[in-house]
């Protein structure tokens, strides 16, 4: 019976049971897992993302310790996704603290290109993700339906934008404070899901200014089997440029005000304006093996 190392990491937090969970499965280069089984493992874990890392360029018993470059894929319980920030940070943490990787920086080859993660002191990490600036979105009836289900009503004063690559929809009501965002109880109805499919929306970000941070947000993705994602690293490739334009700042402190909550630092205009740099912490919660026939 095949056995693979699996680690559950809480990302964007300094303490366990906060931030966002990711399961990291270490897949040796000589023991690949077929796509159906990969998706079945993600469904079995039933958390926002399960990530699979495989050493590239090196093989052998020490490949996880000595490799600097890894293949990385991310799966929700229902599908593979193009980019996942918190599971990328979690993968770097698992490599360093659970798999004994000896490098301070590692590269991940992914569906969104090559991603670089630096490991710092005290379980801290810095990663670069491709920027995805949102553009104003035409306000169709479907867009109004999505906004009304998220905010409780649609108002013409609400600003709506869409990111071209990830297809994340940003919803910003200037009249709402951070406390209002934290207390939202969106209706993730069949009507919302159908409207999002017609608009090719993958996730909805609702955001506001914050007195304790530069901004706050929450993220909803029923189209990917995730009603609410606790802390969404990839969302800040969209929110970074969104809030830079409004606040005139390149260095932004953010809080994702889900029930678990998480702290994120975003630096825009990074790597010749092609990336955003995202800082965060991570902690290991579970470490063991996964078995299947």
How does pLDDT run along the chain (293 residues), one tens digit per residue?
Answer: 578 999 999 999 999 999 999 999 999 999 999 999 999 999 999 999 999 999 998 999 999 999 999 999 999 999 999 999 999 999 999 999 999 999 999 999 999 999 999 999 999 999 999 999 999 999 999 999 999 999 999 999 999 999 999 999 999 999 999 999 999 999 999 999 999 999 999 999 999 999 999 999 999 999 999 999 999 999 999 999 999 999 999 999 999 999 999 999 999 976 777 899 999 999 999 999 999 87
Phi, psi of 235 (to 5 degrees): -60, -25
Structure tokens belonging to residue 194: 């159908």
* Residue-by-residue DSSP string for 105-134: EEEEEETTEEEEEEE-STTEEEEEEE----
Of the residues 44, 49, 80, 199, only one is catalytic, namely 49
The C-alpha atoms of residue 246 and residue 241 are separated, in whole angstroms, by: 9
**Block residue for tokens 């600003």:** 159
Q: How far is residue 154's CA from residue 147's CA, in Å, rounded to a whole number?
A: 6
User: Quick check: 50 and 75 in contact, CB under 8 A?
Assistant: yes
49 catalytic, yes or no? yes
Helix (H, G, I), strand (E, B) or coil at 23: strand
Q: Which residues pair with 73 in a beta bridge?
A: 52
- The pLDDT, as a whole number, for residue 282 is 98
pLDDT the model gives residue 1:
59
pTM over 0.85: yes
Which residues contact residue 119 at a Cβ distance below 8 angstroms, ignoring those fewer than 6 apart?
A: 92, 93, 96, 104, 105, 106, 125
Distance CA 266, CA 240 (A): 6
Say if residues 256 and 238 touch (Cβ distance below 8 Å).
no
- DSSP type of residue 235: G
CA–CA dist 12, 89 (Å, integer): 8
**Location of structure tokens 């990839």:** 234
pLDDT of residue 238: 98
Report d(CA 173, CA 207) in Å as an integer: 8
CA–CA dist 99, 187 (Å, integer): 41
């Amino acid at each position: 019976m095949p056995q693979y190392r699996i680690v559950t990491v809480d990302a964007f937090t300094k303490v366990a049971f906060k931030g966002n969970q990711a399961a990291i499965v270490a897949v040796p280069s000589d023991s690949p897992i077929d796509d159906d089984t990969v998706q079945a493992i993600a469904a079995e874990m039933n958390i926002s993302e399960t990530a699979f890392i495989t050493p590239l360029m090196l093989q052998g018993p020490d490949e996880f310790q000595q490799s600097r470059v890894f293949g990385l894929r991310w799966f929700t319980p229902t599908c593979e996704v193009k980019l996942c920030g918190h599971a990328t940070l979690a993968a770097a943490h698992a490599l360093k603290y659970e798999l004994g990787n000896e490098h301070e920086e590692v590269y991940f080859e992914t569906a969104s290109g090559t991603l670089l993660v630096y490991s710092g002191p005290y379980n801290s990490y810095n990663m670069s993700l491709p920027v995805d600036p949102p553009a104003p979105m035409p306000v169709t009836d479907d867009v109004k339906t999505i906004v009304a289900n998220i905010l409780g009503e649609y108002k013409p004063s609400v600003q709506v934008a869409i990111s071209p690559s990830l297809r994340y929809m940003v919803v910003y009501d200037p009249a709402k404070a951070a406390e209002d965002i934290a207390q939202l109880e969106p209706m993730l109805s069949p009507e919302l899901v159908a409207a999002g499919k017609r608009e090719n929306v993958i996730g909805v970000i609702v955001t506001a200014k914050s007195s304790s941070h530069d901004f706050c947000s929450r993220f909803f993705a029923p189209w990917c089997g995730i009603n609410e994602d606790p802390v969404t690293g990839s969302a800040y490739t969209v929110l970074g440029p969104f809030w830079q334009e409004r606040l005139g700042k390149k260095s932004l402190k953010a809080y994702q005000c889900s029930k678990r909550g998480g702290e994120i630092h975003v630096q825009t205009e990074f790597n010749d304006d092609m990336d955003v740099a995202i800082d965060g912490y991570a902690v290991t919660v579970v470490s063991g093996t996964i078995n299947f026939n």
